[in-house]
A and B are shown apart, each in its own frame.
Chain A
């Protein structure tokens, strides 16, 4: 094993054999020329007209065929697409990196609306596990219930479920807002790192377990707190923000936000330093 004690810190990684090139100088520089803006292209995006509307019946389509057709319609400039007969199919509406009004006349299965960036979506049914996973931006409204892992690892956007959701809602989320009109299951906010979760109803056991950061607001009863999840004072700013958010979310406009509980990370599990995980392992 490399003699780490006698090695300069900046060369430890090389000494441990993790990489051999020296990452300094021009290899790390990126040059940006504003005159080349027209050359920048965001893959998978189209100029769409929200007033240009069409229906798409996916009854006899596979999820891949349906998603390809949505992409095809966007490429033709359709900005409002109504999906008929989704019938609980999995993986519908994934990977939309566009401004788009998307309406589902029915329910989705697992992994619906995953990895999206920008669309405004309304689902007039329920959704299965892992809806809107990795959402970057946009707004997704579910009129009925949702399964577990709702909004897993989202980075941004608003994710709204008017009914109840399963376990591990907002697991590993890094931004954005999740709003639940009904109850939520166990391990809500598990390992969340940033962002906000609002639950108007009751929530199950181990709320906010191992959360690094972020905020959870609960209107009903809490089954139990997870590791390092603690109560915090609900400020006037919090209340104003909650009122605004619930109004925009079309649920709980008249909900008494002053009685909500605010849960944050106790930060006793925080253990940060400047070492990369592999470096830390080597140093230990």
Chain B
């Protein structure tokens, strides 16, 4: 089933980590195999923030194979050496969990494709996000568990999207969890609720064009699809409108960039979405109770229509 939620503050910052946690926790009955956050924090915009994993969470419900922590250490060492080779300087390093790391790095080249390919050539290593504002955090469990585990409550920023997952198309693991980074574009992330029925056709075509897939989760296709459109010069909104024709199946998805948040709904309108829009805040989720968790007073909400695409700026 899965639940998605997103919010964007216009003209101000807020504790988006805390707010999104409340929204996703309200949707936990839609799936708590894993929960993911894409948070756009307030930064000085100078350095990249790289969230990556060197292994999988093999806790309860996981479909991953357990590995010794020394394997993680070894992979981390290789990542560090590759960063040095790429000319990237580690400014700050946080190892939140044995398998999950956050680096703040100084990297002046614009080509993130070669950068990512080099880092991800290490088996078992995956970049969850790369950007100057974006941080993707995803792990097994419900929203509160993941929020507490990664201490997201205090993160201040302008916008965020998140996903509460009930695994259907692929395994219960971090690599199949949402949000997906719009590889190799800085600060692009996607969450999705639905099923895509032309996944393999699209995947084969996109792989032939040099795009990369890290999982077999159909939702990843949306991030890659949009990234490919933007690589060819389309704007985010153009790419999203194109996706209504290019992607087959039922879906509602959110996509976020450094300064914008967008939603798209398929032409069958088979997946739910409730939207609240005011001058200073847009909040949306699979169910109204997600919005109510941050706006308990009486508000006007509505369901976007079939085939609708909307994009908001901060």
Contact = CB atoms under 8 A, between A and B. Distances in A.
Say if A and B assemble together.
yes
Contact of B269 (A87, A107, A109, A167): A167
B287 A126 contact: no
A230 B314 CA distance: 46
A166 B303 contact: yes
A210 to B, nearest CB: 14
Interface stretch (A17-25, A143-151, A262-270): A143-151
A125 B300 CA distance: 7
A56 interface: no
Interface residues of B, number: 20
A75 to B, nearest CB: 29
Interface in B280-313: 287-289, 291-292, 296, 298, 300-303, 305-307
Contacts of A147: 272, 274, 303
Q: Which of A88, A147, A148 has the most CB of B within 10 A?
A: A88
A128 interface: yes
Contacts of A166: 269, 303, 305
A185 B287 contact: no
A148 B272 contact: yes
A129 B305 contact: no
Contacts of B307: 186, 205
Interface string A166-183: 111000000000000001
B288 A167 contact: no
A128 B287 contact: yes
A189 B300 CA distance: 26
A106 B297 CA distance: 9
Tell me what chain A mostly uses at the interface: helix, strand, loop, or mixed.
Answer: loop
Interface residues of A, number: 29
21 contacts: A87-B292, A88-B287, A106-B298, A109-B287, A126-B300, A128-B274, A128-B288, A144-B300, A145-B300, A147-B272, A147-B303, A148-B269, A148-B272, A164-B302, A166-B303, A167-B268, A168-B269, A185-B306, A186-B268, A205-B267, A205-B306
A169 B287 CA distance: 18
Contacts of B303: 145-148, 165-166, 185
Given A88-B292, A145-B303, A167-B306, A186 B269 contact: yes
A88 B306 contact: no
A126 B296 CA distance: 14
Contacts of B292: 87-88
